[in-house]
Structure 1
């Protein structure tokens, strides 16, 4: 390797640890070029994956660019607050490919299959529209309420990836104010990750639990869950004592 000139330093490459001569610290020319090639390769792979996703994704019937969606089924939200529910257009092939429940419903001669209308109970129009849009695009814009609503629909129609997505979102929004309600909700809808996270938060704050309205409501509504909370708390105390001992 040539000797350093004025203003240059003999440095050690941060990547390969070999010595090189340069004005700036960092990596040698060989490592820099190799890293650049790797970065370009990763960019090409990402672009390729994006192209495949775009190709495989069904266009949504809500896309305003599609003047005629050729939909062959509509879903109707039968929420008690929806006086005149707006039908949500969809395609039987998409529903059947995304949900085994819809598949079974549409394959046999049920009323929904014959009429082309599927009534979805206890759901708002916004939640139903968001649910159908997710079946087409794999995307959902969540807030806390929408996370709960879509998780319920995902469980009911066995859309596992959507349920997981909503559950992770709700775990990220856990706090003391919603921990008890989230624990009860998770129990009702078999959301294991949310249940464990909410239970952990509750047992870490047992001194405050009995002071909340949510606790009083839970005692009246489902006392077995209260028993489960105290059992988990006692188990945690025993394990802590054994570890400290």
Structure 2
């Protein structure tokens, strides 16, 4: 699916995005009856239209090359499939305090160009307000009639894992072919291969190259991981991890990647954790970002809290974080808050 990028020269029409969240700040609607945002990174338009009521519309923008191709090859059955979106949308007004209007969650809504989602508000809004759009999922329909697939589902973990060579390496683990080392998790054991582990991790390589107990005992204790999480870790190392296993165990995988210096896994975890930041997990991920030195994730979490105003939605949780969190990390967040207030 092709995505459009916002023009950054006019803040009145720019949509700011982070992770799966988009916000459009309208400072003064005034007497204008129609306002259309620039296309933004997740690939959609927001439109505000005002007659008697206020209408908020969301629809996809088809990239110009695709439009031109359709016009030229109108009889060639070229199909630009409309996306299928699940999202939460709300309007936050600054007049009379922080007033929020929330639309019921939208599930699997097909968005066609020019005729996507429409929300008619029966409340009069003037002055400054924010349209807050949080995608839960975004799918593209298959051109051959097959099942639609999420654009976020498998990008990080598939790579080239279907090649013959990597499939064979994966079978070595799943079928315990000539294993020569035992991994002892907190609630079970898994057979593995020294050569594979050493090739993927400098820490494992060091264990097997020196007179450490793991070299003599032919066993490695990873008792801070469950058997399921350890299986996911090894599956990643052997390049046959399933996407859902990766998602389910991301924080365990991040800890293991840091402990055993598997840098590509650490990068994959950071990128994945950035993708679906929300109010339920942002503080946990902020602390993980600080603990495991993940600067991009940390910046994304702080922006989500401060720039996008989500700190107001979790005030109780944030107060608890202030009381018990890392002092340096709290200082960074507070400094960001103060900077935002100065620019308000």
Q: Residues 75 and 107 of structure 1: is their aligned pair in 2 closer, same or farther, counting only changes over 3 Å?
A: same
SS of residue matched to 2:241: coil
Judging by fraction of residues, say which structure has more helix: 1
Structure 2 counterpart of 1:224, from 321, 328, 333: 328
Q: CA RMSD in A?
A: 3.1
SS of residue matched to 1:109: coil
Q: Is the CA contact (8 Å cut-off) linking 1:210 and 1:216 kept in structure 2?
A: no
1:71 matches 2:179: yes
1:197 matches 2:307: no
Question: Within 5 A, what are the aligned runs for 1:55-204?
Answer: 55-56=165-166, 58-63=169-174, 66=175, 69-78=177-186, 85-137=187-239, 139-142=241-244, 144-204=247-307
Instruction: For 2:234 and 2:161, locate their aligned partners in 1 and report how far apart those are by CA, in whole Å.
Output: 22
Q: Comparing both chains, which one has the higher relative contact order based on Cα–Cα distances under 8 Å and sequence gaps of 6 or more?
A: 2
| Greater C-alpha radius of gyration | 1
Q: Residues 215 and 181 of structure 1: is their aligned pair in 2 closer, same or farther, counting only changes over 3 Å?
A: farther
- Structure 2: give runs of 5+ residues left out of the alignment: 1-64, 75-158
Question: Structure 2-normalised TM-score?
Answer: 0.49
Q: Could you list the per-position Cα deviations for residues 183-228 of structure 1 after superposition, in whole angstroms to 9, with x for gaps in the alignment?
A: 0111011122211111111113265177222431442242332221
Q: Could you list the per-position Cα deviations for residues 69-124 of structure 1 after superposition, in whole angstroms to 9, with x for gaps in the alignment?
A: 1100011113xxxxxx3211100000000001100111101001110110013211
- Structure 1: give runs of 5+ residues left out of the alignment: 1-13, 18-23, 28-48, 79-84
Q: Could you list the per-position Cα deviations for residues 129-150 of structure 1 after superposition, in whole angstroms to 9, with x for gaps in the alignment?
A: 1101111125343465511111
Q: Is the CA contact (8 Å cut-off) linking 2:170 and 2:235 kept in structure 1?
A: no
